[in-house]
Amino acid sequence: MTRRNAVDSSSYANLDEVVTTHLSLALRIDVAARRLCDDSTATLTLSARVPGVTTATLDTRGLDIVGVTDADGRELAYTASAVVGKLGGTLTVTMPPAFAAAAGAAATVTVRYTTDGLGGEGGAGGACGWLTAAQTASGAHPFVFTQCEAIHARSIFPCQDSPSVKATYDATLTVRAPLVAVASALAVGDPEAVAGPGGGDWVRYTFDQPVPVPAYLVAFAAGELVSRDLSPRCRVWAQPSVIEAAAHEFAEVDTLLATAERIAGPYVWQRYDLLTLPGSFPYGGMENPCLTFVTPTLLAGDRSLVSVVAHEIAHSWSGNLVTSASWPYFWLNEGWTVFLERRILHELHGAGVAGLSTYGGRQALRDYVSSVGVDHAYTALEPVLAPDTDPDDAFSVVPYERGYNFLLHLRSLLTPGDDPAPFDAFLRYYFGRYARQSITSDDLRAALSDFFPDAAGTLAAVDWAGWLKAPGGLPTAVPVDESLLHQAHALARTWAATAEAGGEGAAAVTAAVATTDAEGLATWPAAQRCAFLQHLGALTAASGGGDAAAATLLSPAAVAALDGVAHFNNSKNSEVLHLWLRLALPARYEPAVASAKAFVTSQGRMKFVRPLYRLLASVYPAGGMARALFEEHRDRLHSIAAKMIEKDFADQSAVGAVA
């Protein structure tokens, strides 16, 4: 595949010649039939970047084009190529003659099309997650949500699918009542009843996004949805049976938002709403503007996971307002978002909780680098993507954690000392300077030089190439507050010692229970309880054998005693429960089996279900119990999750056969 433009190797559009300034979607979504109907249209307002442009090439994947017209409804000639490379196809439209007259000439192009939003045959997948009624909470109605990041927008509308292009957008979404449609934009007016094919009560919802966004931030969902207001600018959407729990869990979200504003500057999106998706949503969350999509596994009942929302809120500045110009600069989205997320945690919960998060991130980064090798190109902050590489394949913890640590390093050089607040002034300057733009690492460097005019020598001494271009682990790690971490690790060592106590085991367990009580583990922040469980798991993992994680040195009696004092097995906090089960299942603590079965069948977030199914299969291989459980409940899982678990089982039996 030859490169189609000099801007973004992930797009086949002629980005050098044409830019989209506005997008208008009119989609009829038949959720039961899993289709955008063939009267759906995308109208793009295009502007010529240079004189003499005669065609506009748009990205597509799995779209069936019905026709293309100009602003007056006249047919425009076009060529639709379903597949021009691994990343999809193109739609090349012959523009009206006036478009070639001069740079800045504008024209609108309306594309009528239909699609299942799944990306077509054998491709890299699509944006639409179609759920059957059985995959929802009530079981009464089907559901659909989209996930366009990184390059899936092209599977639901023709577009310049590059983060370098940002456009305002409006949309009408027409669905069959009683389904409700929501989008990553502001709702306009009340829904209207409209006529439609096949009878039924079609209802049209209208939206407007006045802030320019890249195509990957266009998002919608439709299903059995109700909402509750949380504050004048925040609302939560969920299925009826979940709405009370969601409204309780996210009641304080405006406090997070206000804290973020104090650090990063004004919130420009007017509304911050949350959409709690059905349990089969395979991901944690997605920062769709005006409407963050989240997994219901955040509903802990005690607001202990609301800090996860801090990450999505932070994207309102980094990623959504100031966007990386192409995917190799993705670290500017995620590194800054983790930075702002931990600043919010610091403000609301203290330096110790923020430090736990930093420690966990560094651990995850070390694990990733050692798993792929220190020379792997994707360990660099700005990975070089070969033509036709799906950016999703290059993404990992690197842009998040290496990115965060680089920014923390810059902060420590430019505003030394423990107080993070002085550097916040730079954040406000940076987000203001580049608002509504797409930028590269050079733009960050320019902003730092301008904001810190006396620090030219300091900035020149920074190892920019080492941080940005070189593969490997962290060049340096700025010290952070590890007080809560050390407390958690010390307690984990006490419990790990019970495994080495031999004949004195019972006495060691009794002592560990007393220490746990005295330390007040039950009242620790969830992140600290997680750090305890994670460290205890690492200290007691039995080495050797086929699957190290499937064996532990902890005795069932010790695990039972730990549960007796900490009640982990009944935790409603999904992160705590997940780490607990990874410790308790290998110890063959029987109550953990029922708990694990209930957990993997009540939600479908891949972060949790994949490792737990693997663990159930390796610890309890008898009778293919895990496999049978999966088969019994697979119709409640998202197709991506079911496919990945299927693959995990296959990999596991292949390893078993070799061993």
Annotated binding residues for a peptide, written as ranges, equal 147-149, 282-287, 605-607
Active site residues: 312, 400
State the virtual CA torsion across 608, 573, 489, 493 in degrees, nearest 10: -80
Q: How far is the CB of 313 from Zn ion (least distance, A)?
A: 11
We find the least distance from the C-beta atom of residue 427 to Zn ion, in angstroms, to be 16
> Are residues 327 and 394 in contact, defined by beta-carbon separation less than 8 angstroms?
yes
User: Which parts are annotated binding residues for Zn(2+)?
Assistant: 311, 315, 334
> What would the DSSP string read from start to end of 316-328?
TTBTTTEEESSGG
Q: How far is the CB of 285 from Zn ion (least distance, A)?
A: 8
What are 591's two structure tokens? 């109550």
**In the range 327-366, which residues lie near Zn ion by CB under 5 A?**
334, 337
Residue nearer to Zn ion on the CB measure, 334 or 347: 334
**Burial class, 376, CB count within 10 angstroms (exposed 0-12 / middle 13-18 / buried 19+):** middle
Residue 337 CB, shortest distance to Zn ion, in Å, is 5
Nearer CB in complex with Zn ion: 292/540: 292
Backbone angles phi and psi of 331, in degrees to 5: -60, -30
Angle at the Cα of 177 from the Cα atoms of 175 and 178, rounded to 5 degrees: 120
Q: CA–CA separation, 659 vs 654, rounded Å?
A: 9
Within 133-152, the residues that bind Zn ion by CB under 5 A are: none
- Within 387-502, residue ranges assigned H as helices are 391-394, 398-414, 421-433, 441-451, 456-461, 464-468, 483-500
Distance CA 383, CA 630 (A): 37
Closest CB to Zn ion among residues 147, 337: 337
Minimal distance, residue 489 CB to Zn ion, in Å: 28
* Cβ-based nearer residue to Zn ion, 109 or 332: 332
Q: Which residue, 57 or 337, is less far from Zn ion as judged by CB?
A: 337
Query: Nearer Cβ to Zn ion, position 278 or 403?
Result: 403
Task: Write out the binding residues.
Answer: 147-149, 282-287, 311, 315, 334, 605-607
Nearest approach in angstroms of CB 329 to Zn ion is 14
Alpha-carbon distance values, 616 to 573, 613, 623, 629 (Å): 20, 5, 12, 10
Q: Are 330 and 338 in contact (CB under 8 A)?
A: no
For the CB of residue 287, give the shortest distance to Zn ion in the complex, in Å: 6
> Residue 424 CB, nearest distance to Zn ion (Å)?
20
Q: How far is residue 93's CA from residue 108's CA, in Å, rounded to a whole number? A: 11
Site string for Zn ion, 261-290 (x = CB under 5 A): ------------------------------
* Of the candidates 193, 180, 76, 78, the residue with the CA atom closest to the CA atom of residue 136: 180
For every residue of 74-118, DSSP letters joined together read -B--EEEEEEEETTEEEEEEEPPGGGGSSTT-EEEEEEEEEE-SS
Closer residue to Zn ion, CB minimum distance, 334 or 401: 334
d(CA 309, CA 294): 8
CB atoms within 10 A of CB 463: 12
Which residue pairs from 511-514 have beta carbons closer than 8 angstroms and sit at least 24 positions apart in sequence?
512/558, 512/561, 512/562, 513/561, 513/562, 513/564, 513/565
Tell me the per-residue interface mask from 536 to 565 with Zn ion, x by CB under 5 A, - otherwise: ------------------------------
Question: Rounded to the nearest 5°, which phi and psi values hold at 257?
Answer: -65, -45
How many positions of this chain bind Zn ion (CB under 5 A)? 2
- Nearer residue to Zn ion within complex by CB, 41 or 324: 324
Residue 451's SS3 state is helix
Q: For residues 116 and 334, which CB has a smaller minimum distance to Zn ion in the complex?
A: 334
Output the smallest distance, CB 7 to Zn ion, in A.
23
CB distance 423 to 411 below 8 Å: yes
Report d(CA 208, CA 384) in Å as an integer: 36
The CA dihedral of 390, 392, 393, 396, to the nearest 10 degrees, is: 150
Single-letter code of the amino acid located at 259: T
Contacts with Zn ion by CB under 5 A lie at 334, 337
